Amino acid sequence: MTEKSCDIRGSRIKLLDESTINKIAAGEVIERPASVVKELIENSIDAHASEVRVEIGGYGTKSILVVDNGVGMSHTDASLSFKKHATSKINAIEDLDRILTMGFRGEALASIASVARVELVTRQEGEIAGTKVVVDSSGIKNITSAGTAVGTSILVNDLFYSTPARKKYLKSARTELAHIIDVVSRNSLAHSDVSFTLVVDGKVTLRSPSSAKMQDSIVHLYGADVARSLVPLEYESDLLTISGYTSKPELTRSGKDLQVFFINGRSIFSNQISNAVRLGYYTLLPKGRYPAAFLNFIIDPVNVDVNVHPAKREVRLSHEKEIEAMVISAVEDALGRESLVPEIQVKKKDVPVQVLLSGSKEKEEQGLVKTSDKSDGSDTVEEAPYISGESHDISLQDAVIKENKEPYHYPAKDTQKRLKKSERLQMSVTSNEVTELSSSFKPSDVKVYGQYGDLYIISEMDGKLILIDQHAAHERIMYEEVLRMQDMGWQELITPVTLDLSQKEKAIIEDFIPDLENIGFSISEFGPKSYVVTTVPSIFGKLEDTDVIHDIISDLLSTGRVKEDTERYDLLCSTMACRAAIKAGAVCSTKQMEELIRQLMRCGNPYTCPHGRPTMISFTKDELAKLFKRT
């Protein structure tokens, strides 16, 4: 190797400057405004604060102020707190095996200061004056004495001003606010003895007073309806202690947004624990539904590695299989002690809420509401089955959650209702908008042999064995028809549906209300934490529960930023199609299966559902011969 080549290779390695190092580290810890809130709240909890106030300007990039009444810091500690890896939580590597504090890495303040302008004001009890530290990405600007109450306040201005490219990866203002609300909510549940207040642009968005009970915090954060559907869960063994709440099968979501887990007071995300919780329900839940669960685990710190993620969101557990089995058992025991028969509470009202909202004297007198379908211009009138008089607890025999370990089956009449809806939608489309499949798959070529597992249709087309996923197929049908509809039509609800939303859900839905209204929903505020739904798209028929609204919100939460209006509309349409489609577990007659296939053949893309899953799989005779080793 020549001397010149050695020089070239050696020049490729460079030592980064301290500022660049800090910005790279900040990228691991400070991903978004909610990351700042999380780190500062955890410091307040470690400082034994009993009150924490978070004030947000804009959606966090403009300003974040966290004020606590904790023990505060001395002048010396305040000066050192912005140094990289400066921490009061551990002294040696051995301490990592017994961490019980929220923070310990010594990265938070240094990382925040490398991407924002920060002012810290703090005072310990017994000191006459406090300390003020001003710092930005270039380092500490000045340290002075300041008058202040006991505790610490940290003001973070112009987040990501020194790394403007980072802002491009932030989501919408509402989504970023939802993440902040989620951080405050989780800490409120994990530390119910601490009072938390969240103020957004001068308005109190969330307030969770200190309480000895987690359930009180759940009521404040998620509403009475959620709290009413929870059952207490307690479990203790030599390995761990579990306490908290899980929901009756009547309360579910399409996502995991109502699942909050803590280990030794630290909020964590764990698919392992979530899956174990769901397994505890066995067949009490439909496929794709997730129960609410608010669980705190007390585990010997020796068995918990909290140092596997820079932002401390994930942990690694020893005895994973044993812990999973204990979670399943704890959920089964909690549900086994409760009556799982859903109850409907009919409020004492002489007039339906619909009448009060509409002000219609005729509706008040006759108890009728009008259903308008804009797609064909027809109007129908339905009788309002409302009950007046005293409140009642009604046990619905048909709605009993069965515990015989058998999966739920949808009756054939439900299938027929959904097929008629999609058929009507297809017939409303002009013939030149309908796309037929290629000649290899003509509806007249189909032979239907039966149904397997109340989900898969066994058929033959053009000499091929075709297995069709009935839910995915009908989902595709509904999706394409909804997309074609310029005016989806709406129907007025006989009785409005009230939604009690968490602050996080509320932040998301407000951003999408115009889009929801464009497709047929009428949603308006109905109190500080509630919304009332008075109309829904005609595609749903009778809205029997509020799950569809929550499912849409869950989809929006999981998707995050939707850049274009068309993407937003597409997302809403795919969610509605999924909710309106024939379900897995739906019984289909031969005639119904033939009708479903006929409708599928009309689709422009009959091969996948809106989410990309295949609607059908084919086998040729040669492929089957290979499977049976005939060749």
Could you give the count of Cα atoms lying within 13 Å of 473 in the half-sphere of its Cβ? Answer: 25
The pTM of the full predicted model, rounded to 2 decimals, is 0.61
Name which of 32-36, 237-241, 493-497 the model is least confident about: 493-497
Residue 13 has pLDDT above 60, yes or no: no
Residue 431 has pLDDT above 50, yes or no: no
DSSP codes of every residue in 140-204: EEEEEEE---SEEEEEEESTTTT-GGGGGG---HHHHHHHHHHHHHHHHHHTTTSEEEEEETTEE
How far is the C-alpha of 96 from the C-alpha of 92, rounded, in Å?
Answer: 8
Contact criterion met (CB below 8 Å) for 259 and 270: no
Could you give the count of Cα atoms lying within 13 Å of 531 in the half-sphere of its Cβ? Answer: 21
Residue 142 has pLDDT above 50, yes or no: yes
Highest mean pLDDT among 466-475, 491-500, 510-519: 466-475
Supply φ then ψ for residue 493, to 5 degrees.
Answer: -80, 140
The angle at the Cα of 344, spanning 339 to 350, to the nearest 5 degrees, equals 150
Beta pairing partners, 498: 532
Summarize pLDDT for 283-299 with one digit per residue, the tens: 777 777 899 999 999 88
Q: Which amino acid type is present at position 220?
A: H
Give the per-residue pLDDT at 242.
95
Locate 150 and state its tokens. 């006991």
3-state secondary structure of 619: strand
Burial of 359 (0-12, 13-18, 19+ CB in 10 A): exposed
- What mean pLDDT do residues 97-120 have? 70
More confident residue, 138 or 401: 138
- What mean pLDDT do residues 116-124 have? 93
Contacts of 256 (CB under 8 A, 6+ apart): 274, 290
How far is the C-alpha of 274 from the C-alpha of 271, rounded, in Å?
Answer: 5
- What mean pLDDT do residues 91-115 have? 58
